[in-house]
Amino acid sequence: MKKPLILSTSPASAVIDATNQAKIDISARATGDLSSSGILGQVTLSINADTTKYDLTVTDAVFVDHTHGAATPLTYLGTVTVTAGTTPYLTSGPVTYLAIDSAGVVATKNVPFTHTERRTKCPVGILRHINLTVIDGVTAQPMMAQDLGMLAHDFMMGLGAYNISGNKLEDNGNSDLTIQRAAGQAFQRVGEHGTTLDDANHINSAVVPNATYFANSRKAGGLANVTLETALDPNRYDSADDTLTTIGNNHVVAHRMTLFPAAGSIILQYGQVDYSNMADAIAGYRTELFDERQAEQLDDGIFMGWYLLTKGITNFGAALLAGTAVCVPSQRFETPARL
């Protein structure tokens, strides 16, 4: 397969606004917000009367020159107008990707622009020519120049907290059912957690040898019962609202653990299935149709995994060695199944 080429298409009419150029230079230097090229205004992309061609208008674009010591690190482009633009890929492929550079020249590719190319070019849209004869669809898809701090904040809040290292909830060597929270580091964008502003979003936690946890079970009215506990419960499962039922002899329950790094707290959600044996539990815990209460609250934490416990165990560490207890750590960003 031939390597796709970046080709200039029809000449564009570009207007550079000197007043806004000066303003944007001053603003960007003062705030550092515009560290990537992008569109500040809007993009209008349409099919020309000649359906083998397209029309394009771009208003207000900014281009960043990342060359060290560049004399003009930022270029403001007022308008770009293309009428009856052509694509070299009309008869050879189903799509054409469009971008503009700081001179208002339109570039085309038959594959998306790479991250390196996006440093000097602003993608603006896609032409579709499925039948390899005419342009039968267009999509304006501009790369916007946004406040990168705001963009990063939105992304981090959407992503949520996640574990970086450690924080494992494990046996503490006490020969009972208490647990230890290992030392670790987590990321959570909700405030200043680090010791300095340079480390504000990282939560570094020391080991907690005898970790307590809040046990959640279902409560009537769609609510949750919450109790503070000091030891794992291998003997009961959450069978219905306000009902913790003892599982059968040698049966297994699969509890879920969620860590809240900022508060340093742990929530255990009682398993909701009485598994006949460990093999059934291992086969079914991930697909358990779990009626999760306080889901919004739990989404603010870090899901740490499942704890599969056989009825009657009294020593967590010994049970792990014997296979009558199994800890299944979650994958990063994993969300467990729920109703």
pLDDT in tens, 2-61: 333 333 333 344 444 555 555 554 444 434 445 567 888 889 999 999 999 999 999 988
Ramachandran region, residue 191 (left: φ > 0; alpha: ψ -120 to 50; beta: rest)? left
Contact 320, 240 (CB under 8 A): no
* Closest to 226 (Cα-Cα) out of 264, 269, 271: 269
Residue 64 confidence (pLDDT): 77
pLDDT in tens, 54-81: 999 999 888 877 666 666 677 888 889 9
Question: Phi and psi dihedrals of 287, rounded to 5?
Answer: -105, 10
Considering the domain architecture, whether residues 90 and 168 belong to the same structural domain is answered as no
- What's the Cα-to-Cα distance from 271 to each of 83, 244, 249, 268, 306, rounded to whole Å? 63, 10, 16, 9, 9
Residue of higher predicted confidence among 194 and 100: 100
Burial 61-79 (b: 16+ CB within 10 A, else e): bbbbbeeeeeeebbbbbbb
The Cα–Cα gap between 275 and 287 comes to 13
The Cα–Cα gap between 292 and 301 comes to 14
Residue 5 confidence (pLDDT): 34
Total domains, the chain: 2
Is residue 28 included in any domain, yes or no? yes
Considering the domain architecture, whether residues 168 and 106 belong to the same structural domain is answered as no
* Segment among 16-25, 175-184, 287-296, 324-333 with least mean pLDDT: 16-25
The Cα–Cα gap between 188 and 157 comes to 8
Is residue 2 included in any domain, yes or no? no
Considering the domain architecture, whether residues 72 and 27 belong to the same structural domain is answered as yes
Considering the domain architecture, whether residues 196 and 273 belong to the same structural domain is answered as yes
Q: Beta strands 325-329 and 302-310: pairing type? A: antiparallel
Instruction: Find the domain containing 249 and state its range.
Output: 158-329
Considering the domain architecture, whether residues 185 and 325 belong to the same structural domain is answered as yes
Q: Is 107 helix (H, G, I), strand (E, B) or coil?
A: strand
Is residue 335 included in any domain, yes or no? no
Considering the domain architecture, whether residues 59 and 79 belong to the same structural domain is answered as yes
Is residue 310 included in any domain, yes or no? yes
* Segment among 11-25, 203-217, 281-295, 296-310 with least mean pLDDT: 11-25
Considering the domain architecture, whether residues 137 and 180 belong to the same structural domain is answered as no
Percent of the chain scoring above 70 in pLDDT: 80
Contact 316, 232 (CB under 8 A): yes
* Mean of the per-residue pLDDT values of the chain: 83
pLDDT in tens, 204-243: 889 999 999 999 999 998 888 899 999 999 999 999 999 9
Q: What sign does the CA torsion over 95, 96, 97, 98 have?
A: negative
Q: Mean per-residue pLDDT for 134-163? A: 81
